[in-house]
Amino acid sequence: MFSEVVKSAMPDTIIYEISKDITSEEYEYIREAGSVIRRGGLVAFPTETVYGLGGDALNPAASGRIYSAKGRPSDNPLIAHIADISQLDMLAYEVPDVAMRLMKRFWPGPLTIILKKKKEVPYETTGGLDTVAVRMPDNPIALAFIREAGVPIAAPSANLSGKPSPTNAWHVRCDLYGRIDMILDGGPVNIGIESTIVDLTSELPVVLRPGYIDMNMLSEVAAGVEKDPAILGVPDKNIRPKAPGMKYRHYAPEGELTIVSGDPDRIPERINMLARRHDEADVGVITTDENRHRYDYGKVVCIGERRDELSVARSLYGALRTMDEYRIKYIYVEGFSDENLGDAIMNRLMKAAGYKIIYV
């Protein structure tokens, strides 16, 4: 990819390519990344969801650097990433049974749980909250990196605040080059949207952010799972989301994004009509394999197959970034059903679109 060239041309962020089977030479890079963390530095790394921007979760200065590198509001807490359940001891106390069951079933994997924080976890990491978000990512590079660092790694997504989350190392480089110490380039991610977040600090588990692990999957292991009312539909000023991050406009491209949802067969007709109101150079359409042939106006980007929602999740943020590269002013995206992974896809799309949606 781009490691050799970049290392010599721009010395301030080191970029290492790492393959999934991690050769012994690559392992040395991971060790180096671990020592950057112990010195209080920042390393972006791949996970199965999106790339994370990591720092020592127990070092307030490191967390502070994460906020400034991203331009992130300081009340938006970070997720602590661990490589072994024993590391949970450094972070949380009163871990309920339901947490143990969820961890056993879904870790390593795209599930973040919220627990009561130990006092050793600085408020800089938790955005001032007495709770801490914890996850064990399902990516061999991430796990090796966390082990080598020897501490839990605080990591939000490795994008500039407000931009779509990075799904490959190139996206990270575009946003954070020169602002962080190192990028571990492990290729494109597998899932493409951020983890499901479940709060376990009250009586019943509450989903604060939908993700790959959906309500049905959670309900198989935990009784009475509910959704935070703040993430149902259009935000209400009177309801405050329990995940502070969910209140910010997020994942957003520069152009004005509109979702056209409903019968997938009728969506293209409406999008074509709306698109033709603008100059062709200003318009972008985000579609799926099934409907690709029905568009011939503007920049058309296909994000996968409707019947394979994972393919859609994986390409979604990249497509939003592509629209920015082409300086598209008006973007139309096809809507999806809100079942299973579609729920998480629609949650991100709604936020990216500022809740602008047309039903056909």
Measured from the CB atom, the residue of 49 and 288 that comes closer to ligand AMP is 49
157: contact with Mg ion by CB under 5 A: yes
Residue whose Cβ sits closest to ligand AMP = 245
The angle at the Cα of 324, spanning 320 to 326, to the nearest 5 degrees, equals 115
State the sign of the Cα–Cα–Cα–Cα dihedral 62, 68, 73, 78.
negative
Choose the stretch contacting Mg ion; rule: CB under 5 A; options: 83-91, 149-157, 264-272, 277-285.
149-157
Q: Which bin fits 200, alpha (ψ -120 to 50), beta or left (φ > 0)?
A: alpha
Q: Which does 114 bind (CB under 5 to 8 A by kind): ligand AMP, Mg ion, none?
A: ligand AMP
- Whether omega for the bond prior to residue 235 falls within 30 degrees of 0, making it cis, is no
Measured from the CB atom, the residue of 192 and 298 that comes closer to ligand AMP is 192
Q: How far is the CB of 241 from Mg ion (least distance, A)?
A: 14
- Take residue 334 and report the two structure tokens written for it: 């096809």
Q: How far is the CB of 252 from ligand AMP (least distance, A)?
A: 14
Q: How far is the CB of 53 from ligand AMP (least distance, A)?
A: 8
Measured from the CB atom, the residue of 67 and 336 that comes closer to ligand AMP is 67
Q: Determine the length of the chain.
A: 360
- Binding interface with ligand AMP (CB under 6 A): 76-77, 79, 114, 126, 129, 131-133, 156-157, 194, 197, 208-209, 242-246
Distance between CA atoms of residues 45 and 168, nearest Å? 10
112: contact with Mg ion by CB under 5 A: no
In three-state form (DSSP H/G/I as H, E/B as E, the rest C), the secondary structure along 313-338 is HHHHHHHHHHHHHCCCCEEEEECCCC
Q: Which does 196 bind (CB under 5 to 8 A by kind): ligand AMP, Mg ion, none?
A: none
Q: DSSP readout, 276-287?
A: TTS-GGGEEEEE
Distance between CA atoms of residues 228 and 210, nearest Å? 10
Q: Which of 82, 50, 78, 85 is nearest to 62 (CA)?
A: 78
Q: Which does 152 bind (CB under 5 to 8 A by kind): ligand AMP, Mg ion, none?
A: none
Q: How far is the CB of 260 from Mg ion (least distance, A)?
A: 26
Please report where in the chains the tokens 């082409």 appear, as a residue.
Answer: 326
Q: How far is the CB of 327 from ligand AMP (least distance, A)?
A: 26
Q: How far is the CB of 293 from ligand AMP (least distance, A)?
A: 35
Please report where in the chains the tokens 């929602």 appear, as a residue.
Answer: 309
What is the residue type of 207? Answer: V
Measured from the CB atom, the residue of 144 and 243 that comes closer to ligand AMP is 243
Q: Which does 271 bind (CB under 5 to 8 A by kind): Mg ion, ligand AMP, none?
A: none
Q: Which does 79 bind (CB under 5 to 8 A by kind): ligand AMP, Mg ion, none?
A: ligand AMP
The site for Mg ion, by CB under 5 A, has a size of: 2
- Take residue 127 and report the two structure tokens written for it: 């955005």
Choose the stretch contacting Mg ion; rule: CB under 5 A; options: 5-13, 157-165, 218-226, 315-323.
157-165
| Helical (H) or strand (E) element with 98 | helix 97-106
Binding region for Mg ion (CB under 5 A): 156-157
